[in-house]
Amino acid sequence: MSAITLYNRPSPTFDAKVAASIALLKQVATDHPALTQASSLGAEDMVVTHLISLAGVDTGIFVLDTGKLHAETLALIAKIERRYNRSVEVYRPKAEATIKFVKQHGEDAMFQSVDLRKQCCDIRKMEPLARALAGKGGWITGLRREQSGARADVPDVVLEPGRVKVNPLADWTWGDVWHFIATHALDYNELHDQFMPSIGCAPCTRAIAVGEDFRAGRWWWEDTTKECGLHVQALPENTNQGQPA
């Protein structure tokens, strides 16, 4: 069964939410130049990319290619570039860092301990994220309050050191996301049709069962907050740990 069939359930205030999200993007783009969208290529981020297009605001868009993403995820980059006639910036981890880490701890280091899993996320996500955000006035995400308890207080706008973080879908439901995808015939990750609502790196993502938490399929072997750090801490001001790969 397709994700659209399963999840397309708009909330009563859906139209107002869409209008508010577009208005928010326009306002933030006016107040903060050099905005960029951080896209995980998940369902929410495909919605945000389309909202940015509808808002007509000038932003960049980047993807963190950890080297561990599913082929189905990476296939969306070309689709975005074709549909919106724009380039997607792709940031990858530093080769020497990943080679050294794998040599020391193996390809399955993330399963050995929480500390090694976090080291892997630092190398493959956090360091490239710092490069992607260097010099940017702000970033746009697809975070929603409904996604998990850890995200229940996600605000629409956060002032971080040196930049603003914008969450235009903060009050959207999962049903809203899929109604928007269906209404605008957006491309989406085929893995969403296989009971993977939240998709990250291939080794660290599994399908969820009926009734399981939205992010239960992420780092499922851990009893943690199901976060990799991207949305947990603010990056230092004027972070510049290297050049885009």
Q: Is there a contact between 26 and 114 (Cβ–Cβ < 8 Å)?
A: no
110 binds ligand SF4, rule: CB under 6 A? yes
Counting contacts by CB under 6 A, is residue 117 touching ligand SF4?
Answer: yes
Beta carbon nearer to ligand SF4, 25 or 199 = 199
Kindly state whether residue 121 participates in binding ligand SF4, applying the rule CB under 6 A.
Answer: yes
Shortest separation between residue 229's beta carbon and ligand SF4, angstroms: 9
Q: Is 191 in the site for ligand SF4 (CB under 6 A)?
A: no
Is residue 124 part of the contact set for ligand SF4 (CB under 6 A)?
A: yes
Phi-psi region of 166 (alpha: psi -120 to 50; beta: other; left: phi over 0): beta
Query: Quick check: 68 binds ligand SF4 (CB under 6 A)?
Result: yes
Is residue 77 involved in binding ligand SF4 (CB under 6 A)? no
- Judged by CB under 6 A, the residue of 83, 203, 230, 234 near ligand SF4 is 203
* Catalytic annotation present for 121: no
Q: What is the CB neighbour count within 10 angstroms for residue 85?
A: 8
Beta-bridge partners for 157? 166
Stated as kind and residue range, the H or E segment containing 77 is: helix 71-84
What is d(CA 53, CA 21) in angstroms, rounded to the nearest whole number? 12
Integer CA distances (angstroms), 33 to 29, 30, 58, 104, in order = 6, 7, 9, 42
Residue ranges in contact with ligand SF4 by CB under 6 A: 66, 68, 110, 117, 120-121, 124-125, 200-201, 203-204, 228
